Amino acid sequence: MKAKILSALCILLITLLATNVLALPIDVHRVEIDGEAVEGDSVRLDIQRGQDVEIELTMVPTEDVEDIEIRAFISGYEYNDVEQIADMIGPISMDAGVKYRKTLTVTLPEDVEEDDYKLRLLFTNRNGEDMISARYQLKVDLPRHELKVTDVVFHPGKHVKAGTALLGQVRLENMGEKDEDDVVVKLMIPELGISATDYIDSVEKGEQEETEELYLRIPANAEAGLYEAQIYVGYNRDHDKVLAKTQISVEAEAQPEPEQTVVLVEETATEDVQENVPANWKNTVKTVLEVVLLVLVALLVVIGLIIGFTRLGRAE
């Protein structure tokens, strides 16, 4: 809304100029647009859209002036309420008899219509009573061949897991004067060594077309991180090219956990054998041991007696 009001005020000021409004004491000696000297609006200057237009002013004040603002603008752009084709310098003060050079730059959007426009210059002071203005005729032209990547849509999105598929669709717009045939579109992620290619039969002037789904498979061993996805477009028998870039986030494939080997070890009972022996068995073993001990004692006695009797017989 403010932009529309400002444009209306500018037109009103120009109208006032035509009714002998007192001019500011500034002599504009030279105006150059993109390096070309221009005078009035008798000759149109050809300018291509989508570029910056540089306006260089050479001027000499005949009196000291203060709080001067210089504005360059083009009216009639469809979206001037959002993005104006304009530039301004100031407020500035200038001394009489001194030559000043000032530069303004206006940007022609890529979607401004091909047509004739006027570049207007306004010089205003603080109270707005005095002004001077100038108008220069421009012919906004189109490049002969120009395709633009307007959008890239990824499925399932720009975040994808390693080892899964990534699908991409590329939308192109023809911003040039000529229809473009046999357009090649290539989607690639160089760091992963993957790519896919599609062809569009024709993209007519001022129209948009999109590719079929371009299929990429992210390698299963891809590391997690951001990767640059590139969109290459070749047209005009591959004499003209466009390279657009975007980013894809890759999530590393989940690694399976190693299988755990379970070793079963049979526990050997280490309890005291005696604790597991019945009490009656203990008594039996004790009795046997006592009998064996008595037999041994008896044998020792018998052996002793035999040895004694043998010695007595020898003595006799």
What's the CATH number where 87 sits? Answer: 2.60.40.770
191 and 118 co-located in one domain: no
Q: Mean pLDDT of residues grouped by 10 in the chain (316 residues)?
A: 53 44 76 83 79 90 90 89 90 92 91 87 78 80 89 93 93 91 94 94 92 93 93 93 94 72 58 53 73 80 77 66
Q: Is residue 107 part of a domain?
A: yes
136 and 171 co-located in one domain: no
Residue 20 is part of which domain span? 2-141
Q: What is the largest CA-CA distance in the chain?
A: 184
The pLDDT value recorded for residue 160 is: 92
What's the CATH number where 241 sits? Answer: 2.60.40.10
How would you classify residue 206: left for phi > 0, otherwise alpha for psi between -120 and 50, otherwise beta? Answer: left
119 and 159 co-located in one domain: no
86 and 177 co-located in one domain: no
- Count CB-CB contacts under 10 A for residue 224: 11
Of 119, 141, 163, the last residue of a domain is 141
136 and 221 co-located in one domain: no
131 and 171 co-located in one domain: no
Q: How do beta strands 147-155 and 194-203 pair?
A: unpaired
The pLDDT value recorded for residue 6 is: 52
Q: Is residue 302 part of a domain?
A: no
Q: Is residue 207 part of a domain?
A: yes
The total number of structural domains that make up the chain: 2
Q: Is residue 152 part of a domain?
A: yes
Of 141, 172, 191, the last residue of a domain is 141
**Cis peptide bond prior to 143, omega within 30° of 0:** no
Q: Is residue 123 part of a domain?
A: yes
- Measured CA to CA, the distance from residue 127 to residue 53 in angstroms comes to 29
157 and 64 co-located in one domain: no
49 and 160 co-located in one domain: no
- SS3 call for 244: strand
124 and 99 co-located in one domain: yes
Strands (E), the chain: 26-33, 36-37, 45-48, 52-61, 65-74, 85-94, 100-107, 115-124, 131-141, 147-155, 159-161, 165-174, 180-189, 194-203, 208-210, 214-217, 225-235, 240-251
Of 251, 284, 307, the last residue of a domain is 251
The pLDDT value recorded for residue 21 is: 41
The pLDDT value recorded for residue 258 is: 64
166 and 224 co-located in one domain: yes
Helix (H) or strand (E) holding 282: helix 279-315
Burial profile 266-299: b = 16 or more Cβ within 10 angstroms, e = fewer: eeeeeeeeeeeeeeeeeeeeeeeeeeeeeeeeee
User: Phi and psi dihedrals of 32, rounded to 5?
Assistant: -120, 130
111 and 46 co-located in one domain: yes
The pLDDT value recorded for residue 291 is: 79
As given in the structure block, the two tokens for residue 174 are 């023809």
